Amino acid sequence: MNILSSELRFPNPDLTHETGIIAIGGDLSPERLLLAYNSGIFPWYNEDEPILWWCPEERMVLFPENLHISKSMRPYLNKEKFQISHNTCFKEVITACSKVYRKGQEGTWINNDMIDAYLKLHKLGYAHSVEVWKNDELVGGLYGVYLKRKGIFCGESMFSKISNASKFAFIKMVEHYNDLGLKLVDCQVYTKHLERLGAQIMYREDFLKLLR
């Protein structure tokens, strides 16, 4: 397993360990995070662990043309039951995501260090948020890292306080960035929720080719 030093580099992602972990340690500086995302790597670890960097053999991705909008979601889109905004309250969104209970996980991987790191990325214009509102209350949203030159949105986390708010955020995110030249949403980890929205498994080799 590769232990990162202060040097700003990652091992060749083609040589990732079978667990999907490519390296351990390092830091969450904006420079390292941007290098990671541009290399197909993302951080994911528990608060009591060192920083773990991942480039899994299988990852969940969505091509914009494959976005699936279910019949149950159409009324939310047609009747504008929610309001949408972009990058108006990034800190509130990432903080809400950090409090979401996820089955099979102990605690949250979005700890204070992660929040601080992505707030720095947000101020630099790389980390983006999508907010969903109902009666002036923030009821859902998501955040991620937008690689503008590559046309890739790397989704990090979503939250929903009421039914369908996170789905609405995801659909609106895809529509918004599709207008800006979106080629792919990197959803990272498989969930049934993402599969129902049209995401699919892509193998590491194919993902890295597309990224490069």
167-199 residue pLDDT tens: 999 999 999 999 999 999 999 999 998 999 999
Range(s) of the domain holding residue 101: 60-211
- Per 3-state DSSP, the chain is made up of helix, strand and coil in percentages (nearest 5) of 30, 30, 40
CATH number, domain containing residue 128: 3.40.630.70
The C-alpha atoms of residue 206 and residue 212 are separated, in whole angstroms, by 10
Number of independent structural domains in the chain: 2
pLDDT digit string, tens, across residues 29-63: 999 999 999 999 999 998 889 999 999 999 999 99
Q: Is 1 helix (H, G, I), strand (E, B) or coil?
A: coil
Both tokens assigned to 28: 């969450």
Question: Are 173 and 161 members of one domain?
Answer: yes
Kindly report the three-state secondary structure assignment for every residue of 169-188. HHHHHHHHHHCCCCCEEEEE
CATH number, domain containing residue 18: 3.30.70.3550
Q: Angle between the 112-123 and 30-38 helix axes, to the nearest 10 degrees?
A: 80
pLDDT reported for residue 102: 59
Question: Could you tell me which residue, 76 or 28, shows the higher pLDDT?
Answer: 28
pLDDT above 90 (res 109) = no
Question: Are 51 and 123 members of one domain?
Answer: no
Q: What integer best gives the mean pLDDT of the chain?
A: 93
Question: Are 23 and 44 members of one domain?
Answer: yes
Question: Are 48 and 65 members of one domain?
Answer: no
Question: Are 69 and 36 members of one domain?
Answer: no
